[in-house]
Amino acid sequence: MTKILTPEEVRALATLSIFVDKRKRYVYVDRFTKQGYQIAQKDLNFLRNFSMRFLIALFVYIVGFSLLNIDWWVAALTAIGGLAVSELFYRLYFLKKLPEVTVKAEDAKSVSWLHIQISEDKDKLRKKLISFGLLTVISFVFIIIAGYEGEYLFTMAAFQAYLFFYTGVLIYGLYKKK
């Protein structure tokens, strides 16, 4: 049984693709297959760590490319390979041991990125939008000023694409809020 969660705790779980069903169970929704899995409270730490896999892959890429002076494509392949191995472990080992749960469409939507932003407090959403908007503009200006060439241009373009995507999600969430 779970305790009664605050709206902030519900949003924090939703960022991990988890919601609490009517029976007070934690249910994880696989965003790709839309399949639900019952999660024990002890597995929440694993999911929190697993959700950082993209950040870890980015760290591997940056350390390999920038600090160890490995070619950008070798560093990128290493990061992508690490992502692939972690995803296989996650799907073939971790999810297989969890009991499956039928998930309704509205429950699956409740853990989407857009729904999380829409359910966010309006002032907090504005602050996040301003922060990411400024970060997007500043990084774009740095790209132009620095005149990156070759490998660095690929790295900065990938970072810029992420910033544009997330800022767009925030703008959409703020627009839907009105």
Q: Residue 84: what pLDDT?
A: 93
Q: Residue 150 belongs to what domain range? A: 113-178
| pTM of the entire predicted model | 0.66
CA atoms of 150 and 65, how far apart (whole Å): 13
Whether 65 maps to a domain, the answer reads: no
Q: Residue 81: what pLDDT?
A: 93
Whether 6 maps to a domain, the answer reads: no
Instruction: Tell me the one-letter amino acid at 167.
Output: T
Whether 133 maps to a domain, the answer reads: yes
Please count the structural domains in the chain.
1
Reported as type and span, the H/E element at residue 101 is strand 100-101
Total residue length of the chain: 178
Which portions of the chain are predicted below pLDDT 50? Answer: 1
Whether 148 maps to a domain, the answer reads: yes
CA atoms of 70 and 176, how far apart (whole Å): 44
Whether 77 maps to a domain, the answer reads: no
